[in-house]
Chain A
Amino acid sequence: MTSLILKTAMRLIVPLTLLFAVYMALKGHNEPGGGFIGGLIASVSIALYRMTYGAESFDKLLPIHPRILVFVGLTMAFLVAVFPLLFDRPLLTSYEQYLNLGFGQTVHFVSAAIFDIGVLLVVIGVSVGMIDRLSREVEK
């Protein structure tokens, strides 16, 4: 597992896949993709990294307990969901806006995107957390 080629490759692959994951998550509204898929791709790459480099490097890559990821992700999703309640709208009512960036560019902002990011974080936290926890047991 810990061959040099793989290690070197992982150094390249991990950032790339993470970027790809974010890309997948963000474009998910219009093309195949989305929070789940993004999160899973990221998890796969982090998990591979974890298995290649072991616990210590992993702790450096992810210096927090995965439960923080889960917490933050779920909280994001929760806040997006609850936000409309403040305005007497049903839970999860989506909000969309075309933001004018100034030089002729507009960005289509959908509140569901934040929700999707929350999903992404939860998925990463859970799958990486599980794999990490079990790997530690194996390494013990």
Chain B
Amino acid sequence: MSGSINNFIILFCVIPLAAGLLSVPLVGRSFPSRVIGTLSFASTFLLAVYLLIQGYADNTIYVSYMGSWTAPFGISVVFDNLSGLLLATASAVALGSYIHSYSTNASHIERGYFHPLIQLLMFGVNLSFLTGDIFNLFVSFEIMLMASYALLTIGASKKQMSQAYKYVMLNLLASTIFVIAAGMAYGMLGTLNMADMALIVKTKLASGEGLPVGFTALAVMFLLVFALKGAFFPLWFWLPDTYYTCPISIAGLFGGMLTKVGVYAVVRTFPLIFTQSVADIASVDVNPTRTTILWIIAVAAAFTMFLGVLGAVSQHEVRRILSIHVISQVGYMVFGLAIMTGWALAGCIFYMIQHMVVKCSLFLCCGIMEKHAGSDDLDKLGGLLKRDTLLGVLFFVAAMSLVGLPPLSGFFGKMVIIQEGWNNGLWWLSIIGLATGALTLLSMLKIWSYGYWNPEPKKYPQAAKPENVKSSSRSGYIGIAMLVVLALFLGFGANPVYKFADRAGEQLVSPDAYIMAVLPKERIKLVNPELAAKLYDGIGHDRMSEPLDEEPMIISASYNKEVHP
């Protein structure tokens, strides 16, 4: 059963790539492009949900080896609970903002390769969620970033052009350091495959040889790269200055999704490789890299949460409030990372998911608010609840989800993280997290009070008639409503989602399952015979049916070559 699924997990990349390719010759024709794009996102969403449930039921990690070259030599693509959750959410968010864009995109944006760019962006994002190879992660980041540069500057307005270079420059710096770090990782460990790196690190820790010299410094380099993309404390600067400039559906997609890719990269690589737990290695007490890095992350988390929300609460333009808020919420995820137990990672993952959905829907609401008022400045907004009650309800639900009032989704994300913070001696972070929650409430109430409750300002008459706005942004409401419903599901149905997140967290902190799923038995045996014996002694764990003692001859993941003269 699972054998046939394995190779198809790459569809998450193939579908957006195909859709992007198809919409290149269709540039300028909106309708067919939109159909193709919508189908693409909807199908990846459904596929992700299906595979997630199937994989959970089978307790399987799906792996596909690109070009049939077995890990660690080729590039392997891995679909586990973490990838699945994020793929599903990313597709849903993309779908929501894409549908929303029908009603907010100007025609010159559509002509400016909007459709292929957004499809290829999703190709990059999906690939970074899937890939099991550190250099391929770099490539997928580059795909994502290149698409995001182009989308950020699409339309080339003065506002965009005077800010976009910051995003491009800082990300370029980070990308360069990423590629250097990937090269150095190869130099230090001799491999690029994440599972293989994890295995080698584990072996080195267990054998008493110790980690390679400079490993912590290498981890710091990777942390810098991912933290910059994820907008951690003091690396977030590009975010507030650029996200508010681009067309709103793109801002929604970016605000919801892009920083999360950086956080994802930390979630994926750090527990697996750099800050591997030594809990299951009897001979070692502590992983020195882990101790150092977790402290660094903890300090970053405190500042990210608190300064982010202070920045947000002081703004008076909705887009700026929302984009700076991204930082503060990333802080909660970083908090989860700083604890790095399985359950905390589950909380971090859940928080990521719900934040993607909620933040994107808030941005999209902002799009329709702007249509009403012609501006996103709170001084110029007002009376929206009366003008557009539906929007008010959607916004309120989304805003309260963001604040984390129970039983909405943010609550359950925050809850586990704060709980684990108490449990692991990071009480000061928990306190900051709680204070941040109160300030988040303040900032959301600010938008609500000024934008929705207060009367329309007399100095600034609202730009559009409510009927016109409503009739011209039907798809906008559909996009928002989809995401809000999803957010409500994440709140009321937090338990089933947490089951996946919990499994994902467990897989992350004890990477044996991941290693075993990705690497062939022989590789594990070659690098770490004891581990191989331990793993393959267990009953029912053996992914391959051959007993270990047999002469290793022909082991290929899923394909034996037959054509050769």
- What is the size, in residues, of chain B's interface with A at 8 Å between Cβ atoms? 25
Name the residue in B6, B67, B563 with the highest tally of chain A Cβ atoms < 10 Å from its Cβ: B67
A103 at the interface (CB under 8 A from B): no
**0/1 string, A94-111, CB within 8 A of B gives 1:** 111110000000000000
Q: Which residues, 1 to 53 on B, are CB-close (under 8 Å) to A?
A: 4, 6-8, 10-11, 13-14, 17-18, 21, 24-25
* Contact between B7 and A91, CB atoms less than 8 A apart: yes
A17 at the interface (CB under 8 A from B): no
* Interface residue B343 (Cβ < 8 Å from any Cβ of A): no
> Assuming the A-B contacts A71-B25, A74-B21, A78-B18, are A90 and B7 also in contact, with contact meaning beta carbons closer than 8 angstroms in the complex?
yes
Among A75, A89, A90, contact of B21 (Cβ-Cβ < 8 Å): A75
Measured in the bound complex, the distance between the Cα atoms of B7 and A85 in whole Å is 7
Which residue of B has the minimal Cβ distance to A112?
B67
- Among B18, B24, B25, B558, point to the contact of A90 (Cβ < 8 A): B558
A97 to B25, CA, bound (A): 33
A82 at the interface (CB under 8 A from B): yes
CB pair B7–A98 under 8 Å, yes or no, is no
A68 to B21, alpha carbons, bound, how many Å?
A: 11
Instruction: Report the minimal beta-carbon distance from B4 to chain A, rounded to whole angstroms.
Output: 6
* With A71-B25, A97-B563, A98-B565 as contacts: A91 and B10 at CB distance below 8 Å: yes
B148 sits at the interface (CB 8 A): no
What chain B residues lie within 8 Å of A57 (beta carbons)?
none
A91 touches which of B4, B14, B21, B564 (Cβ 8 Å): B14
B24 contacts A67, C-beta separation under 8 Å: yes
Number of A-B contacts (CB under 8 A): 57
One of A70, A74, A85, A98 near B8 (C-beta < 8 A): A85
Smallest distance from the beta carbon of B24 to chain A beta carbons, Å? 5
User: By the criterion CB–CB under 8 Å, are A90 and B563 in contact?
Assistant: no
Checking B4, B8, B21, B68 against A78 with a beta-carbon cut-off of 8 angstroms, the contacting residue is B21
B463 CB–A CB distance under 8 Å? no
Q: Which residue of B lies closest to A96 (CB)?
A: B563
B66 touches A92 (CB 8 A): yes
Which residues on A sit within 8 Å (CB–CB) of B11? 85
Chain A residues whose CB sits within 8 angstroms of the CB of B18 once the complex forms: 78, 82
Interface residue? A137 (CB, 8 A): no
Q: A55 to B8: give the CA distance in the assembly, Å.
A: 46
Question: 1/0 contact trace for B536-565 toward A, CB 8 Å?
Answer: 000000000000000000000111000111
Taking a contact as CB atoms under 8 Å apart, the answer to whether B14 and A88 are in contact is: no
Q: A89 with B68: in contact, given A78-B18, A97-B563 (CB under 8 Å)?
A: yes
* Those of B55-114 within 8 Å (CB) of chain A: 64-68, 77
CB contacts (< 8 Å) of B10 on chain A: these are 85, 90-91
Nearest A residue (CB) for B564: A96
**Bound Cα distance from A96 to B7, whole angstroms:** 20
Interface pair A89/B563, CB less than 8 Å apart: no
| Docked complex Cα distance between A87 and B65 (Å) | 15
Interface residues of A (CB under 8 A from B): 67-68, 70-71, 74-75, 78, 81-82, 84-85, 88-98
B binding-site residues for A, Cβ under 8 Å: 4, 6-8, 10-11, 13-14, 17-18, 21, 24-25, 64-68, 77, 557-559, 563-565
Q: List 21 A-B contacts (CB under 8 A).
A: A68-B25, A71-B21, A74-B21, A78-B17, A78-B21, A81-B14, A84-B68, A85-B7, A89-B558, A90-B64, A90-B66, A90-B67, A90-B557, A91-B10, A91-B14, A92-B66, A92-B67, A93-B68, A94-B68, A96-B563, A98-B565
